């Protein structure tokens, strides 16, 4: 059994943990990363990356099905779900190996096992590492970073069984394509799976408890996406709840309640996408001062918990539940520990969020409604994809760019997009917000032609009554 001393012990090797470990090594801190499963965490192995591989396959198939619109003729097009899944898993495997390489390159020690807080002294924290129920190491460090992530939330009476009722894990590796699917929840995860299966021909029904899909997005964006999904043949029921799932031999009958009226639908499979809960169990929080609020660890602006020398980052500490947020928190946390000058706390309003459905959705900052609720007087600009030459040439003229400004100062408060490649475009507004750019700088910026990015410029112009091309 190993007994070692470190500057930092990091528990969890997802996008928060492994980035924190690499940055710590760069700052010459003796670091060990403890991971119980796969390097890269849920994001790389079962979330962000492999789902994008799946969605890419579905997108290409969608274009093939609509080849005639481009003057092309494709006959006999079909897909092999086993090959689609294999490609997705190969992508995940490749990148997990890449993370291992980066850690070796930066001379980060990696320990295979389950890390757990195990008490402290005046100036040190102790962490035990277990593998297969056996203690394999006791580690001592000045600081510990908890990066254990989160898992899918379940609902009483709607528990997944891995066969008929799926979480994201089962939805990513189907052995056969279901002819019909119910998705419970219309956040990013739910909508991405709904989009994937629908574009491969599955009859998809989405049920959302709130009054609109993609509820964290701006209302105009979610309304536009809703319209496009229904145009693709997706059935969407908002303001409704699934009251019961009755399992048959190879199907499920769902009872759906909307406005006090119930209906039953029978589908082959169900995907639960009703949020996540933090992995706060079995990591030694019980005998500490660490506070857990609604399954997430409470931290201050520097990611410090109420327990001296113990920090927490990523999905474990709450929204927004995004890999890039976790990575940035990891860097902030480590740099603060190392005493790096001019470290700034994370401003979550500058973090873009992306949903890789068809059409794509992306946003950063405040929605129009949220800005008004916070007391801002706003200038709002909108520009449709149908006014953009590149979008028309691509055959993707359905979409919208929306910008929200403080009418008094010109500050960019938020930007919201739906349509082709908006997940790549949103970084422009992310940079603008980080640089505290006003409408004046954005108006004077020259955007290249012909590009989709021109719509970002036109939306700013529209907020001030100066749009040119619509």
Predicted local distance difference test score (pLDDT) of residue 425: 98
Give the predicted TM-score (pTM) of the model. 0.94
Of the candidates 62, 224, 344, 449, the residue annotated as catalytic is: 449
- Is position 409 within any domain? yes
pLDDT in tens, 233-266: 999 999 999 999 999 999 999 999 999 999 999 9
Tell whether 386 and 438 lie within a shared domain.
yes
Active site includes 449?
A: yes
Query: For residue 233, is it within any domain?
Result: yes
Interval 58-97: pLDDT, tens: 999 999 999 999 999 999 999 999 999 999 999 999 988 9
The whole domain housing 309 covers 2-151+277-348
Asked whether residue 122 carries a pLDDT value surpassing 80, the answer given is no
pLDDT at 333 (0 to 100): 97
In this structure, are 229 and 256 located in the same domain? yes
The mean pLDDT of 210-238, rounded to a whole number, is 97
Nearest to 332, CA basis, from 318, 322, 323, 342: 342
The answer as to whether 468 is a domain residue is no
Is residue 354 included in any domain, yes or no?
no
Instruction: Report the pLDDT value the prediction gives residue 318, as an integer from 0 to 100.
Output: 84
Are residue 322 and residue 369 in the same domain, yes or no?
no
Q: Which of 44-53, 195-204, 384-393 has the lowest mean pLDDT?
A: 44-53
pLDDT tops 90 at residue 39: no
Q: Does residue 375 register a pLDDT over 60? A: yes
Mind listing the pLDDT tens digit for each residue in 276-285? Answer: 999 999 999 9
| Together in a domain, 175 and 203 | yes
Q: Are 140 and 97 in the same domain?
A: yes
Residues 36, 406: Cα–Cα separation, whole Å: 47
Given 222, 241, 271, which residue is the final one in a domain?
271
Distance CA 176, CA 263 (A): 27
Please say whether the beta carbons of 394 and 70 come within 8 A.
no
Residues 61 and 115 in one domain: yes
In this structure, the answer to whether residues 106 and 197 fall within a common structural domain is: no
Over residues 360-377, the mean pLDDT reads 98
470 in any annotated domain: no
Average pLDDT, the chain: 95
The answer on 140 and 72 residing in a single domain is yes
pLDDT at 52 over 60: yes
DSSP string, 326-340: HHHHHHHHHHHHHT-
**pLDDT tens readout for residues 86-102:** 999 999 999 889 999 99
Residue 1 has pLDDT above 70, yes or no: no
Q: What is the pLDDT of residue 257?
A: 96
| Residues 227 and 120 grouped into a single domain | no
∠ CA 443-214-152 to the nearest 5 degrees? 125
pLDDT digits (tens, 9 = 90+) for 320-358: 999 999 999 999 999 999 999 999 999 999 999 999 999
Question: Last residue of a domain, which of 348, 371, 395?
Answer: 348
Domain annotation covers residue 207: yes
Number of domains in the chain: 3
Q: pLDDT tens across 294-320, in order?
A: 999 999 999 999 999 999 999 999 889
Q: What was the pLDDT predicted at 3?
A: 63
Look at residues 416, 468, 405, 357 and name the one whose alpha carbon lies nearest to residue 62: 357
Cβ–Cβ contacts within 10 Å for residue 294, how many?
8
- What's the CATH number where 205 sits? 3.50.50.60
Residue 235 belongs to a domain: yes
Asked if residue 353 belongs to a domain, the reply is no
Model confidence at 2, in pLDDT bands (50, 70, 90)? low
- Average pLDDT for 50-54: 93
Helices (H), 359-398: 368-373, 389-394
Q: What local confidence, expressed as pLDDT, does residue 157 receive?
A: 85
Last residue of some domain: 306, 325, 348? 348
Taking residues 397-410, report their average pLDDT. Answer: 97
Mean pLDDT, rounded, for 151-162: 89
Give percent above pLDDT 70 in the chain. 99
Q: Are residues 283 and 390 in the same domain?
A: no
In a 3-state reduction of DSSP, which class is residue 414?
Answer: strand
373 and 342 part of one domain: no
Q: Same domain, yes or no, for 452 and 339?
A: no
Q: Could you report the per-residue pLDDT of 439-467, keeping only the tens digit for each?
A: 999 999 999 999 999 999 999 999 999 99
CATH code, 376:
3.30.390.30
């Amino acid at each position: 059994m190993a007994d070692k001393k470190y500057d930092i012990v990091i528990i969890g090797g997802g996008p928060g943990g492994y980035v924190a470990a690499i940055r710590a090594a760069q700052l010459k801190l003796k670091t060990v990363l403890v991971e119980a499963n796969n390097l890269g965490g849920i994001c790389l192995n079962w979330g962000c990356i492999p789902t994008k591989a799946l969605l890419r396959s579905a997108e290409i198939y969608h274009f093939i099905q609509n080849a005639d619109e481009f003057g092309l003729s494709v006959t006999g097009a079909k897909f092999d779900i086993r090959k689609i899944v294999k490609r997705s898993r190969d992508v995940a495997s490749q990148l997990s190996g890449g993370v291992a390489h980066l850690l070796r390159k930066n001379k980060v020690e990696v320990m295979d096992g389950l890390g757990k807080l195990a008490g402290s002294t005046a100036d040190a924290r102790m962490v035990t590492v277990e593998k297969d129920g056996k203690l394999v190491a006791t580690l001592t460090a000045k600081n510990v970073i908890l990066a254990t992530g989160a898992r899918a939330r379940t609902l009483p009476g709607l528990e997944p069984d891995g066969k008929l009722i799926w979480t994201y894990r089962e939805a990513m590796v189907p052995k056969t394509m279901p002819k019909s699917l119910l998705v419970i929840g219309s956040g990013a995860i739910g909508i991405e799976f709904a989009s994937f299966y629908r574009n491969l021909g599955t009859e998809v029904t989405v049920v959302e408890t709130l009054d609109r899909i993609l509820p964290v997005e701006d209302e105009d964006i979610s309304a536009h996406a809703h319209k496009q999904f229904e145009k693709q043949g997706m059935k969407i029921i908002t303001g409704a709840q699934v009251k019961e799932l009755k399992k048959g031999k190879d199907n499920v009958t769902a009872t759906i309640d909307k406005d006090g009226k119930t209906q039953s639908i029978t589908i082959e499979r169900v995907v639960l996408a009703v949020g996540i809960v933090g992995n706060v169990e079995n990591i030694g929080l019980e005998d500490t001062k660490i506070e857990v609020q609604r399954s997430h660890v409470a931290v201050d602006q520097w990611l410090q918990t109420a327990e001296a020398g113990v920090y927490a980052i990523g999905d474990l500490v709450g929204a927004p539940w995004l890999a890039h947020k976790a990575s940035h928190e990891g860097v902030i946390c480590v740099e603060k520990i190392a005493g790096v000058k001019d470290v700034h706390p994370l401003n979550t309003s500058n973090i873009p969020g992306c949903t890789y459905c068809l059409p794509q959705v992306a946003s950063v900052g405040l929605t129009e409604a949220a800005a008004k609720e916070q007391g801002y007087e706003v200038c709002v600009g909108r520009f449709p994809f149908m006014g953009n030459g590149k979008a028309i040439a691509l055959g993707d003229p359905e979409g919208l760019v929306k910008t929200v400004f403080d009418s008094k100062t010109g500050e960019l408060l938020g930007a919201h997009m739906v349509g082709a490649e908006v997940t790549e475009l949103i970084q422009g507004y992310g940079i603008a917000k980080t640089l505290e750019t006003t409408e004046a700088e954005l108006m004077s910026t020259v955007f290249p032609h012909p590009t989709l990015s021109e719509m970002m410029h036109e939306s700013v112009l529209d907020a001030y009554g100066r749009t040119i091309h619509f």
